[in-house]
Homo-oligomer: A and B are copies of this chain.
Amino acid sequence: MSVTDELLANNATYAAGFSGPLPLPPAKHVAVLACMDARLNVYGALGLNEGESHVIRNAGGVVTEDEIRSLAISQRLLGTKEIILIHHTDCGMLTFSDVDFRNGIQDETGIKPAWSSEAFEDLETDVRQSIARIKASPFIPHKDSVRGFVFDVATGRLNEVV
């Protein structure tokens, strides 16, 4: 049995206790942008319930064009106003360099990605520059509450980057 089949069996249990549908716009008018890391359970760590917050995630919790797209749709069409950015300790993005990653792919496949891996060397510095990317975008209307945090995978605690 594949992992996918195992998770589908879990879904049957979830659906048996499910009550829906809820409204489409997030009830708490907030969007969370976090790393894809398996140890960062965004609903758990923030005490979110179904229907309350958009959740955007990628390798690193970084801000590229696609996160600007998601945040623009979140704020312009679905009424969110606050943004919470989350990086975390022990992140994979701290363990390699962009040049090595892209050269490694070229060595294996013959093709070097045209995109950056977005690897970074310092968590807090990258949270700050991610906030700066959002603040610099002309497509995000609500920027009064854009706050950034580092999730500690040892303690489960969010520490704000200032």
Name A residues whose Cβ lies closer than 8 Å to a Cβ of B. 2-4, 6-8, 10-15, 17-18, 20-22, 24-31, 36-59, 64-70, 72-74, 76-78, 82, 84, 89-90, 92-93, 95-96, 101, 104-105, 109, 111, 113, 115-118, 138-139, 145, 147, 153-158, 160
Partner of A39, one of B22, B70, B138, B153: B22
**Distance A25 CA – B4 CA, assembled complex (angstroms):** 17
Contact B153 A72 (CB under 8 A): no
The distance in angstroms between the C-alpha atoms of A58 and B71, with both chains bound, is: 9
Q: Is the CB of A15 within 8 A of B57?
A: no
Select which of B4, B50, B73, B156 is within 8 A of A30 by beta carbon: B4
Once bound together, how far apart are the Cα atoms of A56 and B1, in whole Å? 23
Instruction: Name the residue of chain B whose CB is nearest to the CB of A105.
Output: B139
Q: Which residues of B contact A92 (CB under 8 A)?
A: 24, 73, 77-78
Whether A52 contacts B73 by the Cβ 8 Å rule is: no
Write out the residue numbers on chain B whose beta carbons fall within 8 Å of the beta carbon of A113: 69, 72, 139
Q: Are B52's CB and A139's CB within 8 A? A: no
